[in-house]
Amino acid sequence: MRILTLNEDYDPYGRLIQRMGTNVQVGKGGGNTFARNYMDAATETPKAGATEVWQIVNTTADAHPMHFHLVNVQVLQRQPYNAFGPTSGTAMPNYSGPATGPDPTERGWKETVKMYPGTVTTVIMRFDLPANPPGVTVPNSLNPNLGVSGKEYVWHCHILEHEEHDMMRPLVVT
């Protein structure tokens, strides 16, 4: 299971920006944020054909419609949390209430799922790569920053201002 985060930070000019990351802190002084930039090394690197469960922790004050390229996802549950607790160098949410299932309109496979503030949304997905047309070779990503070779896709917030502020991460299927 992957634990990922939706974050609000500030750019070098003091402006609020939205970014995405993992549950491992990075930054100055041994870690002051969970967020990564789009051009940072890929952290979402599933194997082709794999089924994965992601827990996405919304640490922001906003609801974010998160859109997944390549895969459809199914909401398994949502659970409120009130803080992070340390666990061997990573952070785990401290849950503050029971888990609930998806809303009736969210049942089934979706490309975009709303992530509510103060909530961990758990989704499941299968990384089936599409077949190439006959005679066509699709190259692996040419982005040298990814840290891994594979087919590059993205997942991002569908609020344009958030997407433009780096609330987008590479999704590299190996």
Determine contact, residues 8/60, Cβ cutoff 8 Å: yes
The CATH code of domain 2-173 reads 2.60.40.420
pTM for this entry: 0.91
How big is the chain by its Cα radius of gyration, in Å? 16
The residue written with tokens 């469960």 in the block is 53
Query: Residue 31 and residue 46: Cα distance in Å, rounded?
Result: 25
Q: Going residue by residue through the chain (174 aa), what tens digit of pLDDT does each one get?
A: 999 999 998 888 888 899 999 998 887 555 578 899 999 999 999 999 999 999 999 999 999 999 999 999 999 999 999 877 655 556 788 899 999 999 999 999 999 999 999 999 999 999 998 888 899 888 888 788 888 989 999 999 999 989 888 899 999 999
In the chain, where the domains are located: 2-173
